[in-house]
Structure 1
Amino acid sequence: MARQYINAYTFTPEAALATLMGIGILFVIILFFIRKWQKSDGFNTGTMLKILGSSLFMFVISMLLIGFLTALAFDTVERNFNPQTLTISLFSHFLDGFIYSSFFLAYYYYQDNIKKQQKLASYNEALSESKINQLKKQLNPHFLFNNLNVLDQLIEEDKDKASDFLNEFAEIYRYVLQSTDKELVRIEEEIVFARQYFKLIHYKYGNAYQLKIENKSINGFIVPMTLQLLLENAVQHNLGTKENPVCIEIKTEADIFVSNNINLKRNVKPTSGRALKNLKEQYGLLSGKPIEINQIDNIFSVRVPIINNQNT
């Protein structure tokens, strides 16, 4: 268009190479202004437009300067820099600069956004892992403290039972120490642990609390000590007797459902609810699926999501 005619030269490698060199100059100019003005990590429309406008201006000036020096060297200034040809050249350089710089900036900010998202994901993963470890450190002493209280009461009531309780507790606590380093455990392992833990409850309360487990052998993972915490919660808040026992039921389906009939203790000590709250936070961090707590009529139930991927 600048020369007002098309011939075979237009389609030669030399012509394409000249265009490539011009675009290379444009990209260098854009990168210079990006490093100069793009200080913040976030995308800023005003800064982007400033970079685009300045890059276009510098590109057009640079191309005209290169064209003028080339014309001066070959003594063709008058032919290539008359008003009509100059106007066409200005429009051509501006159009090329606008198209290529738009594509370049779109690609640059897209790649920059991907890098920021990857950094953010890595940061959130590290933060989640750190927070989960903190929550586990809180749950572990909670388990130990509650069962030592039970042991203390059994020692006063029945030393033989206290001795058996201590042996069972030692085996169970070994599992607790092993699972502390794991984010998730298999459902089967946790159900076995729940059965063992309920033996400790039976030592103290006998048949006042009863456990029924319907396990369909579903593959999947849950947070360690989830079922133990829910069993403990049912015993802590409900009064069971031989005549009117508290029946706790665990069902494994698409999710795990833990339910019990309600018979609230009258003089129960107020609790902070920290253990259950910590458990909710762990499921939120590991799976993004909340634990659902419901109370319908005389039944208290908790739905625990099954995590299918151990690396979730």
Structure 2
Amino acid sequence: MKKFHLYKPLLFISGFWILLGLTLWSQLKRDYPTLQTFGTAVLMILCCAIIAHTLSNVFLPYALKKGKMQLFVLQAILATTILTAAIAGIFYGTYWLGVHGTPYDNAGELEQNRDYLVVFIRTIPSALLIIGSSCGFQFYQEHYKMAQKHTLLQQAHLEAQLRILQDQINPHLMFNVLNHLHILMKKDVELASTLLVKFSDILRYQLYECNRETIALEKEVTYLKNLVSVEKIRWGDELQVDCIWNITNGKRDIVPLLLVPFVENAFKHVSRLPSQKGFVRLCLDQENELLTFTIENSNSPKPVRNTDSSGLGLENVRKRLEILYPGQHDLQITRSDTHFKVVLVIHLDQKVNYVGY
């Protein structure tokens, strides 16, 4: 259901003043002449509208923008006093100029309008109600505008952040693939040609598919398979690579390049001990709307040399998950002397918190 945000404030305000004027006129005409009370009601509504809207549409936005609410309180008190004086004056003048001494006059009316100060005090609640209603409506509008601006700024911030994260992922992958091609061109031209085809598919995917908000899961899986094929070509017999792709509905949407850093990290930091063959095991399993990605690689007990780019991909994807799938994912990373394992579970049925990048 759409929230009611008063998209037509002019219509609402006009209706408010018309309704207030008709209510006032219906009360006045019970005691005073109809034509005279109509003029009184119109004059009173004009005074109320001018004073109330000057306060709510001029002084209130300025006070909210500049943070001068204390000054606005004084202005509100002054406006209420002026409005009370105006309404009391109209009531007082209407009686003494148009009703006193006519058949509509009586002892009760004379007693109520004998003293202007009494009329003034009696009018204060009405003035407060009018000022409060006008300022309340305007405050709601200003608050809604500020909330919209805050949302746009927040989205712009997230968009910039996601842009940065996206740009950090792509060059790292490109450098890896180009480096593989450079090495293979000197050793095996035919294998390099195969790798070049895989690289072409990878590049096409990143250039033309990844600019979308989400991508079909089957396309992301094809991209991951190409990436794994490139790594298998690079490592050859030095590495045991096992993959399981269990996708039941490839049409489901997923954020592109979300799983790439895990794959890159596994092949980048896989250990190769002289007495033991290194391994990378990958499993992508989809059960209904639940996607489980598991990747595990052999790990050396020796500390890996830290570089500026070390762990960058994992940190990026962690941030992307927090932004795009808040409360809709579970990421577990475990490390031991022999294994490094990542398990990521994503609820594909939940709407992606995407702001565009």
Q: Tell me the TM-score normalised to structure 2 length.
A: 0.71
| 1:1-312 equivalent positions in 2, closer than 5 A | 8-9=30-31, 15=37, 18-19=40-41, 21-34=43-56, 35-36=58-59, 38-41=62-65, 46-67=70-91, 70=94, 73=97, 85-206=115-236, 208-217=240-249, 219-239=251-271, 243=277, 245-253=279-287, 254-265=289-300, 266=302, 268-270=304-306, 271-289=309-327, 292-295=330-333, 299-306=341-348, 308-309=350-351, 312=354
Residue identity matched to 1:261: E
Is the Cα contact below 8 Å between 2:292 and 2:343 reproduced in 1? yes
Is the Cα contact below 8 Å between 2:202 and 2:226 reproduced in 1? yes
- What are the superposed Cα offsets for residues 33-79 of structure 1, whole Å, 9 maximum, x if unpaired? 342463443877535533431221010122234455556655959x8
Which whole-Å CA distance do the structure 2 matches of 1:9 and 1:72 have between them? 14
Which whole-Å CA distance do the structure 2 matches of 1:190 and 1:165 have between them? 19
Which whole-Å CA distance do the structure 2 matches of 1:243 and 1:230 have between them? 20
Is the Cα contact below 8 Å between 1:172 and 1:197 reproduced in 2? yes
What SS class does the counterpart of residue 239 from structure 1 fall into? coil
Decide whether aligned partners of structure 1 residues 259 and 286 sit closer, same or farther in structure 2, where only a CA change above 3 A counts.
closer
Which whole-Å CA distance do the structure 2 matches of 1:126 and 1:11 have between them? 61
Deviation at 1:200, TM superposition (A): 0.8
Which whole-Å CA distance do the structure 2 matches of 1:281 and 1:36 have between them? 43
Can you give the 5+ residue segments of structure 1 that lack an aligned partner in the other structure?
Answer: none
Q: Tell me the TM-score normalised to structure 1 length.
A: 0.80
Decide whether aligned partners of structure 1 residues 41 and 158 sit closer, same or farther in structure 2, where only a CA change above 3 A counts.
same
Which whole-Å CA distance do the structure 2 matches of 1:61 and 1:30 have between them? 13
Aligned residues: 307
Decide whether aligned partners of structure 1 residues 82 and 10 sit closer, same or farther in structure 2, where only a CA change above 3 A counts.
closer
Which whole-Å CA distance do the structure 2 matches of 1:68 and 1:6 have between them? 13
- What are the superposed Cα offsets for residues 142-167 of structure 1, whole Å, 9 maximum, x if unpaired? 21012222223334554432232122
Is the Cα contact below 8 Å between 1:221 and 1:308 reproduced in 2? no
Is the Cα contact below 8 Å between 1:9 and 1:15 reproduced in 2? no
Which whole-Å CA distance do the structure 2 matches of 1:249 and 1:42 have between them? 57
Is the Cα contact below 8 Å between 2:59 and 2:72 reproduced in 1? no
Which whole-Å CA distance do the structure 1 matches of 2:122 and 2:36 have between them? 18
Residue identity matched to 1:115: K
Which whole-Å CA distance do the structure 1 matches of 2:136 and 2:90 have between them? 27
Deviation at 1:306, TM superposition (A): 3.0
Q: What percent of counterpart residues are identical?
A: 17
Cα RMSD of the aligned pairs, angstroms, is 3.7
